[in-house]
Chain A
Amino acid sequence: MKMILRSIFVIASKYIKNWIQYRGNLIGISIYFSSIFFYAIIMNPLLNFEGLSFTSYVLLSFAIYNMISFSLFMFNIFHANKEIILTLPILPWIFALGKMMGQLTTSILFSSLLILFILLSQRLLITPYVAFLLFISILFSIIFSFGIGFVMSGIGLRYVSFKYIPSLLQILLLFLCGVLSPISMLPHGVKYISYIIPYTYCIDIIRGLLLDYPTILPFSIEIMLIISLSLMFFVAGKFFLNIIVENVRKNSLIVLR
């Protein structure tokens, strides 16, 4: 166990060190946040929430979404290294988890700064109860992201053309989890998909706590759903990755360069 944790720590820390030293990443992050600011500012006159400006709400939602949906591009890292990773003693899911921890930390670094800026600029008072609910919902949404990351890594290992899918999936999730528009505005059948995505409840809790907006379900049930769905996806994702790794090995299906 100690060895596994150390491996995860080293993988994540080297990833972060490499990421920070690449200036292109900082430029990319600046463009990303600038575009969110731009979207929020032009939409501000159209929609306004009491207590919190729409600009701040959009920024906050995007910051949190960015923090929790980091795993969508996990397959890229896994795909690029599979030839060597699958010949090393480390288990593939531990490698994937280490890389995702690195990705998560770099996402958190900038998202946290943005969240802090919004909270300070809006002079929002966060009670310990609100902070606790936010913390739990974000933490377990991140665990859900790990599960999704495992699935992405597994599929990326098998299908090289899969690389085009995560961008589409991210946009789809953006709509499905209600960051851009409330779930109630989605078509009837699509809502059911939203209900099994923990991000939906995470965003719903943020909206409910900070904007006093009516939530889909009571907070306690939403928290329970986030926890159970996230743990379920994490375990299923890890299981899926292990199965697909063994399957592609046995059937020589690994897509190689």
Chain B
Amino acid sequence: MEDIIIADKVNIYYPKYHCIKNLSFKVKGGEIFSLLGPNGSGKTTVLRCLSTLIYPQSGKINIMGFSLPEESQKIRREIGVMFEGGIELMWRLTPKDMMEYYAALKLISRSDVKEVTKELLETVGLWEVRNKKIYQLSRGMKQKLHLAVALLSKPRLLLLDEPLLGLDIDTQNFFVDYIKKYAKQKNTVIIAGHYLHILEKISHKVLILKNGKKVIEGNIKNLMKRIKWRYKITITLLSNYYNYSFDRIGDIHIDPKNRKMIVYVRALNEEIFEEILKMKKNARDIDIRPLTLEEAYTDILGDIYNEKENRK
């Protein structure tokens, strides 16, 4: 697949600080690409830039063969955007009205509007409530309407900023399934978010940012290879007796307040299970599970970022 987005040494300055620093990355067509990082790392700024809301002050961005900012108007016709704050929804109108309104803003021809509106409202499951007022819709329904609006122009590139924020499990599952289905149709999706356990399952590639700098970019599997610890063992104790022999095989974190001992290990082997068995009498609960991307990414941020800074 060809590269849909090529960003090369991009710098974005806000009035009082340097937000994005020399950022370069590539996204291929049909990929689900996740932008991760702590608050203030620059994820949303990258999305704002890709959506043509702001332009880079230096560096080059090419989106679907069009360069930014010179061909920004052509880019706008090819993308669908869903920002965290959502879109303007006029509360006394209906989802159908809102689709017609945004179709006009997206310069979609009148003959296509009816058909596209029906198709998209059915896709997101809002056709049944098409004549209800916006204020009567739930948060999940409104978020689905935002998605339908983003898809109005049948974009090849979909940019989503925290699309799952505040949604219930069912709506989250709907979004995840839809994003997967959408990418399978050779479309590209870029998601910025914190719901790492979900992004881990759907993303092909991840870009982790910290303080506007790229910490790591790669596919999920490769990223997992760079992680020092792969499993998390949480032991809830009955007394304040801690087994420090875990120190030999992993990384121990003790939470005396909750009488918890958290051990990060590379692999689950006999030695570890022997140590766990020693703790059995003093343990109220033992939980063993693989690290989530969230935990892994904290690990990566801690180690790789420090490594880079030290090298400087």
Contact = CB atoms under 8 A, between A and B. Distances in A.
B255 to A, nearest CB: 37
Contact of A90 (B83, B85, B97, B105): B105
A249 B97 contact: no
B101 A10 contact: yes
Given A7-B107, A11-B101, 12 more contacts: A7-B104, A17-B92, A21-B93, A87-B51, A87-B76, A89-B77, A249-B55, A250-B69, A252-B13, A252-B15, A252-B54, A253-B15
Interface in A1-47: 3, 6-7, 10-11, 14-15, 17-18, 21-22
B71 to A, nearest CB: 12
A98 B105 CA distance: 10
Interface in A55-100: 80-81, 83-90, 95, 98
B53 A88 contact: no
A188 interface: no
B110 interface: yes
A251 interface: yes
B53 A83 contact: yes
Nearest to B134: A18
B52 interface: yes
Contacts of B52: 86-87, 249
B85 A14 contact: no
Contacts of A98: 104
Nearest to B100: A10
Given A18-B93, A21-B92, A252 B57 contact: yes
29 contacts: A3-B107, A6-B110, A10-B104, A14-B93, A14-B97, A14-B98, A14-B100, A18-B91, A18-B93, A21-B92, A81-B87, A83-B48, A83-B53, A83-B83, A85-B105, A88-B102, A89-B77, A89-B107, A89-B153, A90-B107, A95-B105, A249-B52, A249-B53, A250-B55, A250-B57, A252-B13, A252-B14, A252-B15, A253-B15
Nearest to A17: B93
B106 A90 contact: yes
B148 interface: no
Nearest to B80: A87
Contacts of A7: 104-105, 107
A253 B48 CA distance: 12
A122 to B, nearest CB: 37
- Which of B85, B87, B102, B107 has the most chain A CB atoms closer than 10 A to its own CB? B107
* Interface residues on chain A, size class: 20 to 34
A85 B85 CA distance: 13
Nearest to B97: A14
B219 interface: no
Given A84-B81, A249-B69, A252-B13, A11 B93 contact: no
Contact of A11 (B98, B104, B110): B104
Interface in B235-253: none
Interface of A: 3, 6-7, 10-11, 14-15, 17-18, 21-22, 80-81, 83-90, 95, 98, 248-254, 256-257
Contacts of B73: 89
Contact of B53 (A80, A90, A95, A254): A254
A257 B103 CA distance: 24
A6 B51 contact: no
Interface string B98-138: 10111111110110000000000000000000000000000
A251 B58 CA distance: 11
B77 to A, nearest CB: 5
B19 interface: yes
B53 A86 contact: yes
B88 interface: yes
A133 B102 CA distance: 39
Contacts of A80: 88
Nearest to B49: A252
B158 interface: no
A11 B98 CA distance: 10
Nearest to A83: B83
B165 interface: no
B12 interface: yes
A89 B104 CA distance: 10
B267 interface: no
Contacts of B105: 7, 11, 85, 88-90, 95
B79 interface: yes
Contacts of A81: 87-88
Contacts of A85: 105
Contacts of B268: none
Interface in B23-58: 48, 51-55, 57
Nearest to B19: A252
A17 B133 CA distance: 12
Nearest to A95: B105
